[in-house]
Chain A
Amino acid sequence: MNYSKFVPFFLLMAFSLVLPTTIAKAETKSVVGVSTVYEEKRGKEVNISVYINGSEEVAGGSLTLFYDKTALTVEDEPIIGEELSDYLTSVNTEKPGKVMFEWAKATEQILDGTLLTVTLELEKSSETINLDLQEVKLFNEDFEPISVDVFDGQVKPFKGDMRKYGTKVKGSKEWNVRFNKEFNKSTVNKHTVFVRDSRGNVIDVAINLSGKNIIVVKPKGVYEYGTYTLEITEQVRDLNGKQLKEPVKFEFSVE
């Protein structure tokens, strides 16, 4: 790492004590979650991703994603995540209000990434719409169930911490994001920590963990000239399963 170009920036965030999701020792379990998306305009399309961070090898699994059918409609055939390229899959969106998904393979492997991305159209504006994962089951190749923590998501207006970095940065800029508590590494992924350009396109970044409470975000290539936003959803959780108090959008400009 070229530390001469490293400009440290520390973002301090408090984990919420208000949302008492009780999940003990989450890091010992596999995690399956659905992303939270901040959007409030009726008619807008949102991409919802179901992700997995497996602590054990998985040969098959199933889940059902429930949503308010009066507030969201499925637009296109869901996209199966690359993590499952070696698996047979089946996804059913025919019944409004739920997406049923199953995957299977003869042998097991560690899964870490996106399982499924669903494009939905927002039918209501300025509402919080819950995305609930139910009946989430993972199995190893001996058909034994694997212990899993499940994190639900939402589609809702952004009501969080918005910050702006005043100085232009180089295209290779790395950001260090420090939390005030140790976080659950399973909840840090490209769906909870990501960078968008000024058009809203998600930029390919590497997310690395440093120590117990620092995330390092850097571009896989270099940022081009322009304005970007580093976003962190409240789905990043601490070891007790508590979410961030509020999501963060951190805007910076590249010279």
Chain B
Amino acid sequence: MVKKGIKIVTVLSMLFVLVFSSKFSETSAAADPLLEVSSVRSLGDTVTVPVILRHTSYLRHFQFTITLPSDSKGVSLKSFETGDLFDGEIFRPKVQINGNKLTLDFISQSGAAERLRDYNANEMVEIGYITYDLTEEFTPGQSVPLEVKNVVAKEKDDEDLTIKILNGVIEHRMTVGDVIGNDGVTTTDAMWVLQHIGKNDISDREQWLAADVDADGLLTQDDAQKILDYATGKINTFLAIAAQELTNGVLQSEYSAKIEARHGRAPYEFDKSGRLPSGLELNEETGEITGVPRKAGEYTFTIEVIDAVGNEAERTYTLNIIDSNIISVEKIAPINVKLGETPVLPSKVRVTYSDKTTGMEKVTWEPVDTSTLGTVTARGKVGDSGFTVNATVQVVTKNYIHNINVGYFEMLNVHTIVVETTSDVYAMTVNDIQAHYEGNNQYSLASSTFEEGTAVTIKLFDKYGNVLETKVQTLTINE
């Protein structure tokens, strides 16, 4: 039970606001020159990879190669098409394709360095577009890097120009926003999203994630609007901070939360505006908020993220720091629930008290709306402590697990877990250890590290590597 007489300062819900920043061009103006080979996705038999030069003032000569790994399967270089400036009018191109190695060499037609800003005020010029053929050997979920090498760049007075490199990636996945698979984000993708809002008929996790472009866990008109804005070029990225609800922090107790960026080009850089609770710090590289809060209260702050090519997004949070005799609560793994059904949430959770002892506390859960596909947060109150606990609930169209059997070989002291799944499942882990596929939608794992009565975490993945379901299973022998 919670000790009496503890002062509970406040328990308030958190607010989330997603705002796309318009500061991109201002921020990028002072950035270093950057050669970007894009990160692209495709489900088709070809893929086009833009090659972009950013934040470069003057350029006279530019040469580099882009290569595929020698062991890459199912991806082969087909052609290169130069961008407007590099097609001979301003820069004379020399394009060489040798197997999967592309060598590009551009020199200014005038012989002098060209001021690139004269041609594009956005400080971004398209050098060209590489097309690769994709075959069946390039399977769903696979990716190959596109590495830039041998860069030579000259600017004014033939001085060397230092250019940062961002290597490219081709992924066999659905392009974010391109839910129909047009190999481009178009108005028909927005139509598709609008047709599926509230219909709860999307069973393909990859398609769902590609449609939820603002990463708020729900399919809304805002997703369709952003797809249209992307199609017209009003926005040039779907970079977003994934929605999540931060649990309350406790005074003088370790706190940890992680802000995640989506749909941009890693690495990301995080920053904050507004006031974090005293004692908490934001890790600018990982987005983790950690520390020991020193003062109770309600804190509103905005987390901003900038990706590797200078795009920005932000989200505003309100975080409450409370005074409680409970200093931490066990984290509850994400839970899947079928559309319209009630999620099975734990009635008690393990807590740690301020005197370092542990115990079980009753949780009173608020009702969870499972009428719409997507991600919702279940919120519960821990006893009368004022402490809240959150659980991420994925509302899905089906149960991916048909059956779980736990066995035990006494001679070997080995527990076996056999999970029968739907055909949507392409991989499974148990406590992050890869399980074996036995055929017929059955996965198994045997281990001597498991103990009877303890809980293991089973994760199911689709063919693209998306998590379909996370299930905590207590090892009770049933076969």
Contacts and interface: CB of A to CB of B under 8 A. Distances in A.
Contacts of B234: 90-92, 94
B187 A104 contact: yes
Contacts of A91: 232, 234
B191 A102 contact: no
Contacts of A88: 190, 194, 221, 224-225, 228
B232 A105 contact: no
A59 B228 contact: no
Contacts of A62: 186-187, 231-232
Given A90-B232, A92-B233, A100-B232, A106 B225 contact: no
B232 A137 contact: no
A158 interface: no
Nearest to A95: B233
Given A88-B224, A90-B228, A104-B187, A143 B233 contact: no
A151 to B, nearest CB: 21
A65 to B, nearest CB: 12
A113 interface: no
A94 B233 contact: yes
Contacts of A60: 187-188, 190-191
Contacts of B180: 143
Contacts of A61: 187
B187 A137 contact: yes
A252 interface: no
B229 interface: yes
B225 A143 contact: no
Is chain A's interface secondary structure helix, strand, loop, or mixed overall? Answer: strand
Contact of A90 (B194, B195, B197, B231): B231
Contact of B192 (A92, A95, A143): A143
B187 A106 contact: no
Size range of the interface on A? 20 to 34
Given A88-B224, A143-B192, A103 B187 contact: yes
Contacts of A59: 191
A8 B439 CA distance: 84
Interface in B207-240: 221, 224-225, 228-229, 231-234
A84 to B, nearest CB: 12
A124 B411 CA distance: 93
A55 interface: no
Interface string B176-211: 000010000011101110110100000000000000
A141 interface: yes
Nearest to B188: A143
Contacts of B190: 60, 88, 102, 104
A117 interface: no
Interface string A67-96: 000000000000000000000111110110
A195 B192 CA distance: 41
A62 B186 CA distance: 8
A52 to B, nearest CB: 14
A92 B195 contact: no
A140 B191 CA distance: 10
B195 A106 contact: yes
Contacts of B233: 92, 94-95, 100
Contacts of B187: 60-62, 102-104, 137, 139
Contacts of B188: 60, 104, 139, 143
A64 to B, nearest CB: 9
Nearest to A90: B228
Interface string A140-152: 0101000000000
A104 B228 contact: yes
Contacts of B192: 143
A103 B232 CA distance: 10
B229 A139 contact: no
Contacts of A102: 186-187, 190, 228, 231-232
A101 interface: yes
A88 B190 CA distance: 9
15 contacts: A59-B191, A60-B187, A62-B187, A88-B190, A88-B221, A90-B225, A90-B228, A90-B231, A100-B232, A100-B233, A101-B232, A102-B228, A104-B224, A105-B191, A107-B195
Interface of A: 59-62, 88-92, 94-95, 100-107, 137, 139, 141, 143
